[in-house]
Amino acid sequence: MNHATFKDPLGRIWDVWQVHPSAAERRFVDRRVNDEDLTGTVERRTGLERRGGVRKSPRASVAEEFAYGWLCFETAGEKRRLAPVPEGWDQANKETLQQWCSLAKPARRNTGTVKKIP
């Protein structure tokens, strides 16, 4: 895995690396397109999983803009994402990394708690 570090104008040290989402994370919706139907009819999956008769567990997903990967910028208490990944990012100089970091979107923190919907 390629990795880079740089210091921003405030003196913070940033780590940078490329993230490749797995196939499960790239799913935007839980659906299946019927291969025999070329009109694009969508079959919705519901209820029990057909393999083993167990309930489906929720899948992790990422926003569509991050489906093909992103650069992760992280410093103490802050994380950002930049997509699409710039070509040759791992060869970029520190100034270019700083510019990309300033363009990157703040990543939401997962608190690990689940909100109940009334």
CA 83, CA 66: separation in Å to the nearest integer? 6
**Rounded CA gap, 96 and 61, in Å?**
29
Tokens of 44: 């919705």
The answer to whether residue 32 sits within a structural domain is yes
The answer to whether position 111 is within a domain reads no
In a domain? residue 16? yes
Residue 69 lies in a domain: yes
In a domain, 33, yes or no: yes
Nearest partner of 83 among 59, 103, 99, 97, judged by Cα? 103
- The residue range of the domain holding 52 is 3-106
The pLDDT of residue 80: 97
- Binned average pLDDT, 10 residues per bin, the chain of 118 residues: 90 96 57 49 52 55 84 96 95 96 88 61
The whole-number pLDDT of residue 29 equals 43
Instruction: Give the DSSP per-residue string, 51-70.
Output: TTT-BPPPPP---GGGTT-E
**Do 98 and 8 touch, CB atoms closer than 8 A?**
yes
Decide if 114 is inside a domain: no
Q: What region does 112 belong to: left with phi over 0, alpha with psi -120 to 50, or beta?
A: left
**Looking at the domain assignment, is residue 80 inside a domain?**
yes
- In this prediction, residue 33 carries a pLDDT of 46
Number of domains in the chain: 1
The per-residue pLDDT for 31 is: 45
